[in-house]
Chain A
Amino acid sequence: MLEVRGLAKRFGGVRAVDGIDFAIKPGEVFGLIGPNGSGKSTTVNLVCGLYEPTAGAILFEGQDIVRVPTHQRLSLGLARTFQNIRLFANLTVWENLWMAENAPAHRTESGFLKRWIGGRGDARDRIAKALEFSGLSHRADDLAGSLAFGEQRRLELARALAAKPKLLLLDEPAAGMNAEEIAQLDERIRALQRQGYTILLIEHHMELVMAVTDRICVLNFGRKIAEGTPGEVQADPAVREAYLGTAA
């Protein structure tokens, strides 16, 4: 589904991502972990096009997408959430989901004019379903900025899903969540996998990562130090060293 080859990104002299490779198979939940500053978020930003890579290739369903503009990557089937939530705070919850309807399917469903200056009719059922899945139906007409933190996270995920993606990039979705919310997130990620989404999960919360992912890639200082199933990665000495440091 997604394949990254020799991907590198330098900011001045800093090698944020220094030649990493990994491949995500359709239908799997793939974890990307590593200590702070190891290049996880940079990798996501490269994949969804916010940064241009210094070197390397990003193949999505076999097509190199490095030259594809950011906004068009969504039509290919790539959607994301942000580590520090980026909602349209002064738009309503409903409108936030409406904004993400840019997939080819949405485009063919209604004509150009109807889509842009027609009313909300077409989107009503779709968005109602999305709100229900996220448990936000009762807040549809509230401004997104007025939601509680956990609700904002759920809305951002719903907004990514509204774009009908094939691959979902979740950048630290559990950051700032309490245990109960993390349990719900765990459940939601499994539900999404059952529905056929492929997921790239960047996360610090190890319990969650180990529980929901099929395979994990571990980064440290912009390089890949391990890859494998949660069990394999946990047993890897290089990973233990990166997280815990070496015994002096």
Chain B
Amino acid sequence: MDFYYSLAQIIGFHALIGLSAYVVLQTGQVSLAQAGFFAIGAYVAAMLTVLAGWHLVPAMLAAGVAAAVMACIVGFPALRVRGLMLVIATLAFGEAVRLFFFNFDYQIAKGGVKVGPLGGEGFRQIRWFPEHGWTSFDVMLFVWAVVALVAGALWWMDRSRFGAVLRAVGEDELAAQSVGLNLTAVKVAAMTIGGFIAGLGGAIYAHYTTHIEHSNFNVLLATFAIAYPILGGLRNVFGTIVAVIFVQGFLVEGLRFLGDWRNLLFGALIVLAMNLRPNGLIDAATAQRLARLFGRETRRA
């Protein structure tokens, strides 16, 4: 059973990094920096619980805020460029963060052993969960409670004017400017919110795995982060979560018995999914049909 609890936790923090990319993608920006924000969240939260002895929840919030501040700072220069140039700029940022942690030593002695991040060897013994007697099941519930909170907040956001504004900017920047929307403010706001969510995900990840190192936060993770919302469709948060379950639960874990053939099939299935559902697993038309199904068309004024 522990295998499934563990898988559910993996899906949980992948859902968070996927949702962080979802917010940024709403404005039409492809950001490969999400793994960098995830790394910042992971290290900050782990240092607070292990070195400063904080409770996990405030440490997570602080990790989210630290990643959000970084995202806001990176957002201003990065979002002046778009398309491929933005991809390169954010990729460079993500790598810079990874290399920072590759060189980052900050160890203090605690109870006779030295703890803390140690450059390339990483940060070991992030044992807040076992130290506080949480079982794998408890951790899973906690992770999914956070995912549910974030997804719920984003679901609300999508229905608010702010959410529609993000989509409007993603659709047509020229028209958005002409109706009085401040592109920079909107994009940086999306980037900041995305940074916060990625930071939360990183904090959970660090405590799930108990040992983090720079190579966990490479380009592959950044690619996964944007693949989820693109695969799932940008119309609502459930698309992203469905995509994470599909990729992590089915493609990565479900097909493990195929051995090396798995990677081949993995690529083929993503290509197939993109071909069958070019606008994502849950696209605008599907979302509207679902809304109709649940009788929401009555919102007409």
Mark A residues whose CB is within 8 Å of B. Answer: 48-50, 69-75, 79-80, 82, 86-91, 94-95, 98-103, 115-120, 123-125, 127-128, 131, 140-141, 143, 159, 163
Residues of A within 8 A of B182 (CB): 69, 71-72
CB nearest neighbor in B for A103: B180
A116 to B185 CA separation, bound complex (whole angstroms):
13
Minimal beta-carbon separation of A119 from chain B (angstroms): 7
A82 and B175 in contact, given A71-B182, A75-B180 (Cβ under 8 angstroms): yes
Instruction: Please pick, from A70, A75, A119, A163, the residue contacting B159 in the complex, using a CB distance under 8 A.
Output: A119
B165 within 8 A of A: yes
User: A163 contacts B180, CB within 8 Å?
Assistant: yes
CA distance A43 to B93 in the complex (A): 40
B123 to chain A, nearest CB (A): 36
Contact yes or no, A71 B183, CB < 8 A = yes
In the assembled complex, which residues on chain B have CB atoms less than 8 Å from the CB atom of A82? 175, 178
The one of B157, B175, B288 in contact with A88, judged by C-beta atoms closer than 8 angstroms, is: B175
Chain B positions within 8 Å of A89 at CB level: 171
29 chain-A/chain-B pairs, Cβ below 8 angstroms = A71-B181, A72-B182, A75-B180, A80-B178, A86-B172, A86-B178, A87-B175, A88-B167, A88-B168, A88-B171, A88-B172, A88-B175, A91-B171, A95-B168, A98-B161, A99-B179, A100-B179, A101-B161, A102-B180, A116-B161, A117-B161, A118-B161, A120-B161, A120-B299, A128-B301, A140-B300, A141-B299, A141-B300, A143-B284
Chain A nearest CB: distance from B146 CB in Å?
20
List, in ascending order, chain A residues with CB within 8 A of B167's CB: 88, 90-91
Minimum CB distance partner of B298 in chain A? A141
Extra contacts besides A73-B180, A120-B301 (17): CB < 8 Å: A49-B177, A72-B180, A74-B178, A86-B172, A87-B172, A88-B167, A91-B164, A91-B171, A94-B300, A95-B164, A100-B180, A116-B162, A127-B301, A128-B301, A140-B300, A141-B297, A141-B300
Indicate if the CB atoms of B299 and A117 lie closer than 8 Å: no
- Interface of chain B, helix or strand or loop or mixed? helix
Contacts of A70 in B (CB 8 A): 177-178
Considering the complex of A and B, which 7 residue pairs feature the smallest CB-CB distances, nearest first? A102-B180, A74-B180, A86-B175, A128-B301, A124-B301, A100-B179, A117-B160
A115 CA to B164 CA in the complex, in Å? Answer: 12
- Bound-complex Cα distance A169 to B183 (A): 21
Most chain B Cβ neighbours within 10 Å, of A48, A119, A127:
A119
Report chain A residues within 8 Å CB of B164: 91, 95, 98-99
Chain B contacts with A in 162-204, Cβ cutoff 8 A: 162, 164-165, 167-168, 171-172, 174-183
A71, B177: Cβ atoms closer than 8 Å: yes
Q: Taking CB as reference atom, which chain B residue is nearest A132?
A: B301
Residues of A within 8 A of B181 (CB): 71, 99, 102
Residues of A close to B176: CB separation below 8 A: 88, 99
With CB as the reference atom, state the residue of chain B lying closest to A48: B178
Contacts of B159 in A (CB 8 A): 119
Contact of B179 among A50, A90, A123, A163 (CB under 8 A): A163
Q: Is the CB of B157 within 8 A of A117?
A: yes
Q: Is the CB of A90 within 8 A of B284?
A: yes
B106 lies within 8 A of chain A by Cβ: no
Residues of B within 8 A of A117 (CB): 156-157, 160-162
Number of B interface residues, CB 8 Å?
A: 28
What residues of B have a CB within 8 angstroms of the CB of A90 in the complex?
167, 171, 284
| Most chain A C-beta atoms within 10 Å of own C-beta, residue among B159, B167, B288, B300 | B300
Instruction: Give Cα A69–Cα B160 distance, bound, in whole angstroms.
Output: 26
CA distance A74 to B178 in the complex (A): 7
The interface residues of chain B lying within 8 Å CB-to-CB of A95 are 164, 168
- Tell me, in angstroms, the Cα distance from A119 to B158 when the chains sit together: 11
Q: Are A99 and B168 in contact (CB under 8 A)?
A: yes
Determine the chain A residues whose CB is within 8 A of the CB of B300 once the complex forms.
Answer: 94, 140-141
Pick from A50, A75, A88: contact of B177, CB under 8 Å: A50
* Cβ B288 vs Cβ A143 within 8 A: yes
CB distance from A191 to the nearest CB of B (A): 22
Closest residue to B165 on the A side, CB-wise? A99
A125 to B176, CA, bound (A): 23
Q: Name the residue in A94, A99, A159 with the highest tally of chain B Cβ atoms < 10 Å from its Cβ.
A: A99
Taking CB atoms, residues of chain A closer than 8 Å to B180 are 71-75, 100, 102-103, 163
Q: Which residues of A contact B161 (CB under 8 A)?
A: 98, 101, 115-118, 120, 123
B74 shortest CB reach to chain A, Å: 22
A38 to B168, CA, bound (A): 32
| Chain B residues near A163 (CB-CB < 8 A) | 179-180
Q: List residues of chain B with CB within 8 A of the CB of A49.
A: 177
